[in-house]
Amino acid sequence: MKKLLVILGPTATGKTDLAINLAKKFNGELVSCDSRQVYKGLDIGTGKMPSGKFIIKKQAGLWIIDGVKIWMYDVVNPKKQYTVYDYVQDANKIIEDIYRRGKLPIIVGGTGLYLKALIEGLPNLAIPVDQKLRKKLDKLSKFQLQKKLQEISPMRWKSLNKSDRENPRRLIRAIELMIQVQLRLLRPRTRWCGARNDILKVGLKAPREILYKRIDERVILRINQGMIDEAKKLHKKRLSYKRMRQLGLEYGILADYLEGKINSIDGLIQLLQGKIHGYARRQITWFKKEKNVHWFDISEKSYQQKIAKMVAQWYD
């Protein structure tokens, strides 16, 4: 079976730095598994920019950092929606190309849903987003969406919990799924990485206080790198504040700052730090459910050497 290395864990644990070092040792190339790094121009806020001084070359769909290729960067315009289905399709093609060139694919990132979809597959993943239908549904009120779903599929409506029934976005997706299932507009079944590969999962973790400290320091670093100016440039290129909020986390908060809803840099920094702490907690909760992960504490001095030794034994 073909080998596939996965580096996962919460934000600010140094996943990409570790993956770059492993790529150099084992003739590998990285495949980013991040729901926002796929977007062009979202560089500093999504953590594409390394903390150290490296030579960076940018190409369509990838960056080359310190001589190592990182795929699934800069894939799509941020004005466009890019789904987990799109990600799996594109990432699979890249992984196969890495194999053809005799190299080791290294999946690295913290978007648990994308990783699960890539390795295991997800129910309904083969049903693509119908943009024309979504535009029509976006015009409906929450009550109208609820009524429409009840008419199309009473069983689906009954299966939703209270939160989902009150969430227009989830109602729209449920309607979309039911319509397309009924019309049998399924695409050909996607092949999942996990079905054909020998996978080694390496997880990075840290005590909560250390993780929070790293997050706090990284927020300040990104501010100094120009994250606010990056958001301003995106808006000047007609990326709306509404879309920035849809892109989530840093960019949603930056949209509030640029609109004057946050009054100071200090207030911006504190809000970013708190929100990212919460995001890290959600990532930790998600990855606790991930099976067959070899976890390493980044607060231990020799963790990188231990990981390299384990990967060498597995890869031989």
CB 83, CB 131: distance < 8 Å: no
Q: Is 14 annotated as a binding residue?
A: yes
Residue numbers in the chain where pLDDT is lower than 50: 184-188
How far is residue 64's CA from residue 56's CA, in Å, rounded to a whole number?
Answer: 6
Q: 312: which residues sit within 8 A by CB, 6+ positions away? A: 25, 26
Tokens standing for 171? 């109602």
Does 25 belong to an annotated binding site? Answer: no
pLDDT in tens, 275-315: 999 999 999 999 999 999 999 999 999 999 999 999 999 99
Cβ–Cβ under 8 Å, residues 206 and 295: no
Q: What is the pLDDT, as a whole number, of residue 188?
A: 47
Taking only the tens place, the pLDDT of each residue in 228-278 is 999 999 999 999 999 999 898 899 999 999 999 999 999 999 999 999 999
Of residues 285, 293, 256, 259, the one with CA closest to residue 272 = 256
Let me know: does 220 contact 272? Beta carbons within 8 Å: no
Distance of CA 265 to the CA centre of its chain: 27
The reply to whether 121 sits in an annotated binding site is no
What pLDDT does residue 185 have?
A: 42
How big is the chain, counted in residues? Answer: 316
Looking at the domain that runs over 2-122+190-315, which CATH code has it been given?
Answer: 3.40.50.300
> CB-based contacts of 25: which residues, under 8 Å, 6+ apart?
308, 311, 312
- Can you give the pLDDT at residue 187? 47
Residue from 298, 287, 303, 300 nearest 115 by CA? 287
12 is in an annotated binding site: yes
Task: Write down the domain spans for the chain.
Answer: 2-122+190-315, 131-183
Give the CA angle between residues 133, 115, 196 to the nearest 5°: 105
- Quote the CA–CA distance of 125 and 85 in Å, as a whole number: 6
- The reply to whether 16 sits in an annotated binding site is yes
Question: Residue 46, annotated ligand binder?
Answer: no
Q: Tally helices (H) and strands (E) across the chain.
A: 14, 8
The DSSP element (H or E) to which 202 belongs, if any, is strand 197-205
11 among the known binding-site residues?
Answer: yes
What is the pairing mode between strands 68-71 and 62-65?
A: antiparallel
- How much is the pLDDT for 48? 92
Could you count the other beta carbons within 10 Å of the beta carbon of residue 310? 14
Strand, coil or helix: what is 45?
coil
CA distance 241 to 238: 9
- Rounded (5°) CA angle 111-112-114: 70
Tell me: is residue 194 an annotated ligand-binding position: no
Confidence (pLDDT) at 53: 78
> Where do runs of H (alpha helix) occur along 207-248?
208-225, 227-236, 241-247
